[in-house]
Amino acid sequence: MTEQQLRKQLLDTSRRMVELGLNRGSSGNASVRCGDNILITPSALPVAEMTAQDLVLLAADGKVITGGKPSSEWFFHRDILAARSEINAVLHMHSPFATTMACLRRNVPAVHYMVAMAGGSDIRCTPYSVFGEQELSDHALEALHGRMACLLGNHGMIALGRDLDEALSIAGEVEFLCEIYWRTLQAGEPHILTSQQMHDVQEKFVSYKRRD
């Protein structure tokens, strides 16, 4: 895609995150790989007021190429894209149920087989770190090792994808899984799938993706 096409897609994705209730106002942020650079949403600008030209183009070292001030979370966007060559999109949101579980500092266990969609048998939650700091990025990278999503302690969620569509799909699924986990905890202690059961699901996912 050209830079202009990516700008439109990133803006559209940011708007969808709000429409789906995954973000509100100026919370959250999103980025996409743009050649050797990173296109990212700006700091403190509500999506409703954002235009494609407001999106900030960063060099791989985080220096602004075009645009104003990037999201304060640009550290983890840069670090994730640098560490994960197969990933091209990073979404961060303060969605209600994911943020609830993040405030409880709980990993989301295999309460439902779709947890495997995030790459493992659980969705990890990081310790708390102040937003916009390198420590937060370091914690996120650790929690995302071998995963496509994680929770940020007392903060929110990160979802990754090979493109923006996949990242948004994973974000919606993680929010659903956090809601299911929260609801089962209200009724009692949920039955957690075993390691073998989750291994079988992951094998099924591999076969399923091959047929796509």
Of 49, 73, 86, 203, which residue is the catalytic one? 73
Euclidean distance between CA atoms 195 and 200, whole angstroms: 9
Question: Does the annotation count 73 as an active-site position?
Answer: yes
Specify the residue for token string 């494609």: 52
Residue 86 and residue 148 in contact, taking contact as beta carbons nearer than 8 Å: no
113: which DSSP letter? G
The percent of residues above 90 in pLDDT, for the chain, comes to 92
> According to the model, what pLDDT value does residue 26 have?
87
Work out the pLDDT band at 212, boundaries 50, 70, 90: very low
- What does the pLDDT read at residue 209? 61
pLDDT at residue 204, as a whole number: 87
pLDDT digits (tens, 9 = 90+) for 58-116: 999 999 999 999 999 999 999 999 999 999 999 999 999 999 999 999 999 999 999 99
CB contact at 8 A, 164 and 173: no
Work out the average pLDDT over 18-42.
Answer: 96
**Residue 78, pLDDT score:** 97
In sequence order, what E strands does the chain have?
A: 29-34, 37-40, 56-58, 64-66, 89-93, 149-152, 156-161
> DSSP secondary structure string, 126-166?
PPP--TTSHHHHHHHHHHTTT-SEEEETTTEEEEEESSHHH
Model confidence, pTM: 0.95
| pLDDT tens per residue, range 146-175 | 999 999 999 999 999 999 999 999 999 999
Assess whether pLDDT exceeds 50 at residue 211.
Answer: no
Tens of pLDDT, residues 2-14: 999 999 999 999 9
> Mean of the per-residue pLDDT values for the chain?
95
Q: Could you tell me the CATH number of the domain that includes residue 54?
A: 3.40.225.10
Q: Does the pLDDT value for residue 140 go beyond 80?
A: yes
Q: Could you report how far apart the first and last alpha carbons of the chain are, in Å?
A: 22
Number of domains composing the chain: 1
Quick one: residue 21, left, alpha or beta (phi over 0 = left, psi -120 to 50 = alpha)?
A: left
The confidence band for 206, taking pLDDT boundaries of 50, 70 and 90, is confident
Range of the structural domain that residue 115 is part of? 3-211
